[in-house]
Structure 1
Amino acid sequence: MTLPTAINKQHRLLCVHTDDIEPVDVSAALPGLKVWPLFLDSEQGYWILRVQFQPGTRLPMHFHTGTVHFYQLSGVWNYVEYPDDVLKANSYLYEPGGSIHTFMVPDDATEPADGFMVVQGSNVNFTEEGEFVNVMDAGWIEEVIIECCKAQGRPVPRYIKPKAKAGFSDVD
């Protein structure tokens, strides 16, 4: 068997070193969060982030349209609905599509919860009363990051973004 011909030639390693860049403070849209965008693909519905959640952070109740893989680097957090299931440092969490829960970092946490997530699809966010708030997906996250960087007078950090756009293969 011969080596296949590369359709997409890669000229460099596509890598984001989160220790070398400052996270984006997205508290204007999501209080208590700092984000390192790693890979945002609004067309395929994938968002990969490193996120730091400050003590006391509570996100809206949300419904997952797709799966989530989450690796906790440091700190602790849990879902309001499962108070005894605490995610701690060096833990992996899988969330199936169709799950509903409310993320929170305890007020008395001694450090931020820092984790890495791979999300397919979107989070449909609701109030505690079940009223629709918004849809959080790769496109929304990208817009928030860009707007927060503009408001903070800082450049948008480098992240991986597929260049392909929907269209026909026979058009240049």
Structure 2
Amino acid sequence: MNFPGPIRTSSGALLPFVALPQTEILTVNVNGTPLIRDALGSGVHFQPLRLDVEAGVWLVLATFSPGAVIPLHYHTGIAEVYTLSGKWYYLEYPEQPQTAGSYLFEPAASTHTFVCPESNSEDTVILVRVEGANVNFSEDGSYHSILDAAALRYLTEELAKAQGLGPVDFISGGTAENALK
């Protein structure tokens, strides 16, 4: 990493040495990010915002068609979900539906099945931030797959090509490098 020299505040004061040099802010506007359709099953679409493989963190804007389901999965880390529109619930907790304005915190080791009711009259849109991975299971309870930042990055690149979307912008996090190079 090349350091640009001393960093100063707008008044000219030097920032402490521990301040990370930053030459630009990292930003993505979802209005310019294509929706990757049917990425995790029928009616499950997403726009990647941050896919940080090194930190094991991913942040996506997910859109679910009425009736869409994410099968039973186990979270290795915390997950946070903010509902922007529509309605969804966990199959295991149907009495606690999430609607526009709901914020949900999931501790690590939580297990559940995500369901959008078929009766929804609109798509459900949620902002999801996950630390770690989802370990996904099949209907019979057997292991199916892992969904983490690396898998989402791969899906983003491959499905964007297959769907003719072109390159998709997202924040990728840090990049490991040899400090002597």
TM-score (norm 2): 0.87
Conserved? CA contact 2:57–2:132, under 8 Å: yes
Which residue number in structure 2 is paired with residue 98 of structure 1?
A: 109
* Letter aligned with residue 143 of structure 1: Y
1:88 to 95, 99, 105: 99
Runs of 4+ in 1 over 6 A off after TM superposition: none
Q: Kindly report which structure 2 residues correspond to 1:1-172, keeping only aligned pairs within 5 A, or say none.
A: 3-5=15-17, 8-25=20-37, 27=38, 29-165=40-176, 168-169=178-179, 171-172=180-181
Task: Report deviation, 1:5.
Answer: 3.3
* Contact 2:55-2:173 within 8 A present in 1 as well: no
Task: Summarize deviations over 1:126-171 as a string: whole Å, max 9, x none.
Answer: 0132111001100001111111111112213211012421x554x2
Find the structure with the greater CA-based Rg.
2
Identity %: 35
Normalising by structure 1, what TM-score?
0.91
- TM-superposition CA deviations, 1:56-96 (whole Å, max 9, x none): 10111000000001111000000001111100001100001
Give the counterpart letter for 1:132 in structure 2. Answer: Y
What residue ranges of structure 2 are gaps of 5+ in the alignment? Answer: 1-12
Q: Name the Cα RMSD after superposition.
A: 1.8
- Partner Cα distance (2:121, 2:111) in 1: 27
By how many angstroms is 1:120 displaced? 0.1
* DSSP-derived class of the 2:161 partner: helix
What is the deviation of 1:17?
A: 1.2
What do residues 35-58 of structure 1 show as CA deviations (whole Å, max 9, x unaligned)?
111111112110011110111101
In the TM superposition, what is the alpha-carbon distance from 1:29 to its structure 2 partner?
4.0
Q: Distance in 1 between matches of 2:39 and 2:27?
A: 28
Distance in 2, Cα, partners of 1:65 & 1:103: 16
Give the count of matched residue pairs.
169
Distance 1:6 1:30, change over 3 A: farther
- Cα deviation for residue 2 of structure 1 reads 6.0
CA distance in 1, matches of 2:56, 2:137: 20
Paired with 2:36 and 2:53, the residues of 1 have a C-alpha distance of 19
